[in-house]
Amino acid sequence: MSYKKEFIEFMVRSGVLTFGDFVTKSGRKTPYFVNTGNYKTGYQAGKLGEFYAKCIAENIKEDVDALFGPAYKGIPLSVATAIALANDQNKDVNYCFNRKEAKDHGEGGTMVGYKLQDGDKVLIIEDVITAGTAIRECFPILKGTANVELAGLIISVDRMERGQSNRTAIQEIEEEFGIKTYPIVTVREIIDTLHNVEIDGKVVIDDTMRARMEAYLAEYCVK
């Protein structure tokens, strides 16, 4: 089993990839949703880190100085990934994340963990990009901390949707900030993997759900 197929089934079994009626952060009504906030066990955190680490090993060929996890969902993602990189890839990589509100006592500031330095290569660890809103929020946080180089963005799922223009959110992020995005899987891979396939005795993407997902893609995705 490829790690991509394994990851898709892992998301379903973890209650992270669900199907029904939802609204995304960008306000779009969607028939499927990816909520990494539903990971809640040590086993799940460990497996999740392994999948992110495999995606990094497959796509990022240069060494990076730190992983950055945008608050809040990016925090456990960055920690789990750093652990998996150390255990599975023999790469001991720093990690850091931001606070939603600046700390006004102790060491102060908005960042926790590794102290970013000018020239550091930083890899952003996130869950999902729909319209790119979260990345636009964290970019000035990173640049305001140090003159870092962004080595890329790793996400769970590429929803393959338009951002604020006729380009995909991923294309916009690359054009605006020079950041390449590497998803573990795409929504197209999810559809192809799960259509009429039983997971623990249940088909989560039957013909009706596939039709709904295809209609959503036709409306919001770049052809």
**DSSP state, 206?**
-
CB environment 61-83: b (16+ within 10 A), e (fewer): eeebbbbbbbbebbbbbbbbbbb
Query: Is 47 annotated in the active site?
Result: no
Contact 51, 3 (CB under 8 A): yes
From CA 3, how far away is CA 22, in angstroms rounded? Answer: 27
Give the span between the Cα atoms of 221 and 5, in whole angstroms. Answer: 22
Question: Which of the following is catalytic: 29, 40, 103, 143?
Answer: 103
Say if CB 15 and CB 37 are below 8 A apart: no
| Sign of the alpha-carbon dihedral angle for 49, 51, 52, 56 | positive
Check if 195 is active-site. no
Q: Which amino acid is at 56?
A: I
Q: Is 139 helix (H, G, I), strand (E, B) or coil?
A: helix
Instruction: Indicate which residue of 105, 115, 143, 223 is catalytic.
Output: 105
CB atoms under 10 Å from CB of 139, counted, come to 18
Alpha carbons 49 and 77: distance in angstroms, whole number: 7
Active site residues per annotation: 103, 105
